[in-house]
Structures are given as C-alpha cells and as structure tokens.
Amino acid sequence: MTGAVAVADAPLSAASRLMRLRRIDLIGALVTLATLLGAVVWAFPLYWGLVTTFKPETEIVQPGVQLWPRDFTFENYANVLTQTKIGLWYLNSLITSGAVTIIVVAMAASAGYAISQLQFPGRRFFWAMILASFMVPIPALIVNHFVLMSQFGWVNTLQGVVAPQLIAPVTVIIYKQFFDQMPKDFREAAKMDGANEFQLLFRIYLPMNWGVTTALAIITFIAAWNLFLWPFLAVSSEEKLNVAVGITQVHDAFGVQYGRDLAVAMLAALPVAVVYLLFQRRVTQAIMLSAGIKG
C-alpha cells in the first residue's frame, strides 16, 4: 500500500517541479525583458546624439522624430576638425592624463609598499593622514589648490593642471591592502638573496599585482581625461585647454549649431569609450576595488 502511494505521489512531485521551473523561466524572461528595455532607454540618447551628428543643420531643426538621417553628411565632423583646436586639446589631455596616471600609480605603489612592509618613524601618522585625506572631497580644496598654483606660477600651465590631481589616497589604500596580503616568505627569501627595497617592490610585489596596477591605471586615466572643474578654473588660454573644457569653447556668432556641438562632444568622448571597450574587465575591477574601499 505504501508503495502504491509513493508511485502516485511521484507524478505529482514531478508536475510540481515542472510548474516551478516554468515559473522560474517566466520570471527570468520578464527580468530579461525589463533589462533590455532599460538598456534601450539608457542607450537611446547616445544613439540619438550620434545620429544627429550625421544630419545637416537644416534637418536637425525640423520638427518631428527622424531615427536616421535623410541626408547623410560628415560636414559637422569636418567643421570640428578644421575650425577648432580639438587636435591640440587632444594632445593636452593626453599629456596631462598620461602624466597623472604614471605619477599617481608610481607614488601610490611606493607609498603603499612603504606603509605595508617597512617600519619607520611616523608610519602610523602617515597612514592616518592618508585615511583622513580620503575623507575630504577634492572640490573642497579647489581654493587652496588655486592659491598654491598661483604662488608656484603654474596657473594656465599643464603642470598646474596635473599637480592637484596627484592627490589620490584611494590608490594608496588599495595597494597597501594588496601588499598586506603578500606572503612574508617572498620578502624574506628575496632579502636573503640580497635584494633591496626597490628590487622587492618592482621585481616581486608589483609583478604579482599587475592586475591591480592595470585596473588602477586605466581608471585613473579615464578620471583625469574626464576632469572638468579644475582644468576649467586653472587654465584660461585656449592653447592650454584639455578636451573636456575645450568643447565648451566651440560656439558660433550665428547661434547654436546642434550637429557641430554634438560632433565635438562625440569626439571628446571617443578615447574614453575606446579605452573602456578594450579594458572593460579591468575598469570594472577598479570600480569594484574602489567601491570596496569606500564601503
């Protein structure tokens, strides 16, 4: 009798599992559909801006919604490339962003290694200062930065744009955490072989953390490239502007030209978009590392 009940219950349990699976599949389909709709809503302004750059100005100002240009043209991009100094702005951004990235990563790795692995007077004080500086928002220091750059004679110079961006305590904190996790056996073995501290840092500790270094370098470069407020305040000469500030100087005596303004914005965002697409995993890793520190 018991066997008969078990046989009768088997189809019921199989049917309930099937219904549960169908319910899960339905929920997954709904979540996927909602995600796709959200992606379309998020991406549509980007698509609209990109498509608008290939329209003539007369078509842009016409009423109605046109998802594709009737008269496809590169006139807006040609205007930007020939009538503005975007090439010089690109060069300035590359110089300042590259310098900030190299110096910040080098300083952060060295400081993180020293605080993590070396014993010296004032070590706890310096670590406390780094943690405290992490809590201070950079925009709150804008006035101090401007006064210092003015005293150094660096206002309206590229080094004046670079110097205040070198304050990056989060990178020091991330490096210290990773260096703290390194096995002590590596350090002791290298010291027995006669390695000095610089060799330990550049031949052992950094090579074992290249993923972290690459992620931090990419996210630092992107942040420096997109920075607007400080370069806008520190530089007044058009020849010294970076691309984020330079695109705001593209104007016309005859009014707003939407196609040209969107074209220069697309060109300004292109390097960051390319870097993100090429190093998407590293950028995500850097964001997660920074979020972990802030949490």
Measured CA to CA, the distance from residue 186 to residue 233 in angstroms comes to 47
The four Cα atoms 213, 215, 218, 222 give a dihedral, to 10 degrees, of -130
The four Cα atoms 61, 63, 69, 74 give a dihedral, to 10 degrees, of 0
CB distance 69 to 55 below 8 Å:
yes
* Backbone phi, psi, residue 263, to 5°: -65, -45
Question: What is the predicted pLDDT for the residue at 189?
Answer: 83
Q: Encoding tokens for residue 48?
A: 């609209």
> How distant, in Å, are the alpha carbons of 59, 171, 183, 268 from that of 90?
30, 26, 43, 8
List the one residue out of 50, 8, 34 whose CA is nearest residue 266: 50
Question: What is the predicted pLDDT for the residue at 98?
Answer: 94
CB distance 190 to 200 below 8 Å:
yes
Count CB neighbours of 224 within 10 A: 23
* Backbone phi, psi, residue 78, to 5°: -65, -40
Question: What is the predicted pLDDT for the residue at 91?
Answer: 93
User: Domain 76-294 belongs to what topology?
Assistant: MetI-like fold (1.10.3720)
pLDDT averaged per 10 residues in sequence order, the chain, 295 residues: 47 63 72 87 87 86 80 87 88 94 94 88 89 83 91 92 91 89 82 83 84 86 91 90 86 68 86 80 67 51
- Global model pTM greater than 0.85: no
Question: What is the predicted pLDDT for the residue at 6?
Answer: 46
Q: Encoding tokens for residue 181?
A: 């996790």
